[in-house]
Chain A
Amino acid sequence: MQHRGRVRTYVCVDRAFHPAFADDVPFVLVLVEVAPGVRFLGRLHGIAREQVGVEVIGLGVRPRFRSGECGDAVLVDWEQDPLC
């Protein structure tokens, strides 16, 4: 699996639908394709919510790992890949 991917679509989360996210909003979730048919949902870092629109579709991203927030699980997030 390649460690880079492209954003297929996104959703802006401005409102916490669970108290666990109350301190995090607003944030952006992206659906990233890293290989044909292999996709990850994760949070997008490094781009402010206000800057996010349809242009984010197609953006090249690389993974950024987040731990300590969801039990023992490591969450896979994404940030813009300067090489893409």
Chain B
Amino acid sequence: VSAGPDVAVVGVGQSQYSRGTELTERQLAVQAALNACADAGVSPTDVDGLFIPGRRKFRAEDVVVGLRIEDLAVSGTVELGGASSVACLGHAADALRSGRARTVLVVGGWRGYTDRRLGGGGDQLLDDLASVFPNPGIRRNLEHPYGLVTPMQYYALQANRWFHDRDVDPAIMAQVALAARSHAQHNDAALMRARPMTSEDYADSKVICDPLRILDCCLETDGAAAVLLRAGGGGKEPSRAVPVLSAAEARPSVPDDIASRRDITETGTSRAARRAFEAAGLGPTDLDFCEIYDCFTFVVLRQIEDLGLCGPGEVAKYLTETGIGPGSPTPVNTHGGLLSEAHVLGLNHVVEAVRQLRGEAGARQVARARVGAVTGYGDFGDAAMAVLGGSSRG
């Protein structure tokens, strides 16, 4: 499907992931970007393309100055909420294939702990959320006055209908939380390393927004991550380049409002997955692992079905019989994900996929990891998926 030269990830980097930081978002982003360049053996001044997931407190200009980039040829901000990071890979690949840029950086980060705590409440949170989500008019006029404010409430609204329609017990969400925490025990960067979780811990955890418990919610953390891409096998060590076989995105039919979708539970995931698999010439059975966007455990259930890891309506059976933890046939979120590593806008999922495909994941390395998928999910159902790995074409 995609014409032009092969595109590959040649470098990945991250800042420290923490709960609390003295650094600004801009400093975190520049730190992650410099680490990605160093990982690739590419001079930061050679970056000539830049894509940033979502509106952040840093702009392209800040990265240009921070990296001393001299000639930025293409840049963009991608607005698909938590799907933006993976969607950026598609835009980066297009810029490289078309020849508009030779070295493209995707960098994202935030102070999700220091600047914005979603449980906190108050006018500032309302302003903040109205600016982050699409269509602030709907949010402010039709939802906030009734007390519908935070992401977990929107997800619960969808989850209650989804569990009802499929006659699935929400208790199955525990399997996602437990698997993520198990994976995180093998990742030094994971904030939940050395904090294992038992089924009892999960069952005892507080229900925050029924059916979502505190342990169904992602972490709130500060941090940034970056991915450097090139066409035609650039980078200091070509053997470490990880091909981007495809990257696709999709939005729900009414992207700014769950309530107005004919099917309230509709998201873009199945369409994004279809596009990404078609473009890569692969299918779900070809995946050796998946990094699935996991702002809430519920969202992982949905994506496992929508990706085709199991059949429709089979996710509960899949989780209990096959599983997604360490050693399972297709491990999911081998770094611990947003639930147990850190919430770095899902760009940490891309970083992890690259490390797995390079065979550099240490104690958590998936055996014979050749092809992996990374998904993004956000803004009430925007979706993106990339397929990485395999052998280079040509």
Report whether over half of chain B's contact residues are helix, strand or loop; otherwise say mixed.
helix
Q: A8, B210: Cβ atoms under 8 Å?
A: no
Q: How many residues of B contact A (CB 8 A)?
A: 32
Q: Are A14 and B210 in contact (CB under 8 A)?
A: yes
A68 and B3 CA atoms in complex are apart in Å by 61
What CA separation (Å) do A17 and B117 show in the bound complex? Answer: 11
- SS class, residues of chain A in contact with chain B: strand
- Knowing A8-B161, A41-B259, A54-B164, say if A17 contacts B143 (CB, 8 Å): no
> Which of A19, A37, A39 sits near B122, CB closer than 8 Å?
A19
- Smallest CB–CB gap between B203 and chain A, Å? 18
Is B208 part of the binding interface, using a Cβ–Cβ cutoff of 8 Å? yes
Q: How far does the alpha carbon of A27 sit from the alpha carbon of B126 in the complex, in Å?
A: 19
Chain B's closest residue to A43 (CB) is B146
Closest Cβ–Cβ distance, residue B144 to chain A (whole Å): 8
State whether B264 touches A41 (Cβ < 8 A).
no
- A56–B74 Cα distance when bound, in Å, is 51
Give chain A's interface residue range (CB within 8 Å of chain B). 20 to 34
**Across-interface contacts of B122 in A (CB, < 8 A):** 18-19
**Max chain A Cβ within 10 angstroms of own Cβ: one of B122, B148, B207:** B148
- With A9-B157, A17-B119, A31-B157 as contacts: A39 and B147 at CB distance below 8 Å: no
* Chain B: CB-nearest residue to A15: B208
Residues of B within 8 A of A9 (CB): 157-158, 160-161, 164, 264
The chain A residue with its CB closest to the CB of B257 is: A39
Using A18-B122, A19-B122, A29-B148 as known contacts, say yes or no to A11 and B143 having CB atoms under 8 A apart: no
Per-residue CB contact flags for chain A residues 24-49 toward chain B (1 = under 8 Å, else 0) read 10010101000001010111000000
Complex Cα spacing A16 to B209, Å: 11
Which residues of B from 223 to 277 have beta carbons under 8 Å from A?
259-260, 262, 264
A-B CB contact pairs (8 Å), 25 listed: A9-B264, A11-B156, A11-B209, A14-B207, A14-B209, A15-B208, A15-B209, A17-B121, A17-B149, A18-B121, A18-B122, A18-B123, A18-B149, A24-B147, A27-B147, A29-B148, A31-B264, A39-B259, A41-B142, A41-B143, A54-B160, A54-B163, A70-B145, A73-B145, A75-B146
